[in-house]
Amino acid sequence: MRIIHHQQQAYPESVREQEAIVADIIAGVSPNTLILTEHPPTYTLGTSAQDSDVLVREINGETMAVYHTGRGGEVTYHGPGQLICYAMVDIQCERDLHKHVRRLEKLMIQTLYDFGIEGVRDSRGIGVWVNGLKIAAVGVRCRKWITFHGVSLNISPNLQHFSGIIPCGMRDTPVTSMHQLGVKVTRQQLEERIAHHATVILIPVP
In the predicted structure, residue 173 carries a pLDDT above the cut 80: no
- What confidence tens digit (pLDDT) does each residue in 16-55 have? 999 999 999 999 999 999 999 999 999 999 888 888 889 9
Question: Which secondary structure element, helix H or strand E, spans residue 18, and what is its range?
Answer: helix 11-26
What residues are annotated to the active site? 168
Alpha-carbon torsion, ordered 45, 180, 10, 97, to 10 deg: -50
**What average pLDDT does the segment 124-128 reach?**
91
Mean pLDDT over residues 105-125, rounded? 96
Task: Tell me the domain boundaries of the chain.
Answer: 2-200
Distance of alpha carbon 39 from its chain centroid, rounded?
Answer: 11
Mean pLDDT for 176-203 is: 97
Of the candidate ranges 56-65, 151-160, 185-194, the one whose mean pLDDT is the lowest: 56-65
- Residue 79 is predicted with a pLDDT of 97
Report d(CA 102, CA 126) in Å as an integer.
Answer: 9
User: 2-200 is classed in which CATH architecture?
Assistant: 2-Layer Sandwich (3.30)
- As a whole number of angstroms, the distance between CA 201 and CA 198 comes to 5
